[in-house]
Amino acid sequence: MIRPIASLLVAGLALATVSVGAEQAAANRKALMNPAALKAQAPATYKVKFDTSAGEFVIQVTREWAPHGADRFYNLVRNGFYDEARFFRAIANFMVQFGINGDPGISAVWRNATLPADPVKQSNLRGYITYAMGAKPDTRTTQVFINFRNNTNLDSMGFAPFGQVVSGMEVVDKINTFYGEGAPRGKGPEQGRVQMEGNAYLIKNFPKLDYIRKASIEP
């Protein structure tokens, strides 16, 4: 009788783990559907571990560099925004970009949740992380990129780094750049479709994309 009982205990533990995971995912989704409520101030410095399909890397964020960006990143990571997100724009010898949620419903409510501009205090050096933006710095929302190389030309355009990779840069270097630039300029994903269709579009049409399994604040 020992083996059947042990098997039942293992099965019960597995079900409990799945249940807790599902409950956490539901809680995260509920929180992410209300961007205005996610306003916690980040610590002066904090680290985020990224468990990805290419391996693990860690980013250290320094709030003083770009307070608005650091606070937003902190709230997004704490609530699972980047979990399962694809590195949808990865251009060799330039940068790798991510930050569109895999759930189109969540993406929709963050699309216009713009941030005030942060002055550029650090340079866009290799391994530094910065928000993507439109024509102006006050168009930043959730998309970020990590510089593969020194891209100091971005500094004068208003791209304000808020952190840097402190371990695992060799993993970042391994992120798949096969698709390169997005459509229509390249053969990569079309951002409009990523926003509207989420991971379903990316998994079907761009199966070689690397992705984030989980991003978490380190204790």
Q: Stretch 102-110: mean pLDDT, rounded?
A: 97
In this prediction the pTM is: 0.90
Instruction: Report residue 21's pLDDT band, with 50, 70 and 90 as the boundaries.
Output: confident
d(Cα 60, Cα 49) in Å, to the nearest integer? 9
Amino acid making up residue 44? A
Give me the domains of the chain, ranges plus CATH numbers: 33-217 (2.40.100.10)
Q: Stretch 44-53: mean pLDDT, rounded?
A: 98
Residue 47: burial class (beta carbons within 10 Å; 0-12, 13-18, 19+): middle
pLDDT of residue 129: 98
* Better-scored residue on pLDDT, 1 or 94: 94
Instruction: Report residue 4's pLDDT band, with 50, 70 and 90 as the boundaries.
Output: low
Give residue-wise pLDDT tens across range 118-140.
999 999 999 999 999 998 999 99
pLDDT of residue 2 exceeding 60, the answer is no
Instruction: Report residue 68's pLDDT band, with 50, 70 and 90 as the boundaries.
Output: very high
What are the b/e assignments for 82-111, b being 16+ CB within 10 Å?
bbbbbbbbbbeebbbbbbbbbbbebbeebe
Give residue-wise pLDDT tens across range 153-189.
999 999 999 999 999 999 999 999 999 999 988 999 9
Q: Stretch 40-57: mean pLDDT, rounded?
A: 98
pLDDT of residue 105: 97
Q: Are 129 and 154 in contact (CB under 8 A)?
A: no
Radius of gyration of the chain (CA): 18
pLDDT of residue 18: 55
pLDDT of residue 95 exceeding 60, the answer is yes
Q: How far is CA 39 from CA 5, 75, 120, in A?
A: 47, 7, 22
d(Cα 70, Cα 168) in Å, to the nearest integer? 20
pLDDT of residue 24: 85
Amino acid making up residue 215? A
pLDDT of residue 10 exceeding 80, the answer is no
d(Cα 150, Cα 110) in Å, to the nearest integer? 29
pLDDT of residue 1 exceeding 70, the answer is no
Q: Let me know the angle formed at the C-alpha of 83 by 82 and 89, rounded to the nearest 5 degrees.
A: 55
pLDDT of residue 216 exceeding 60, the answer is yes
pLDDT of residue 20 exceeding 70, the answer is no
pLDDT of residue 25: 86
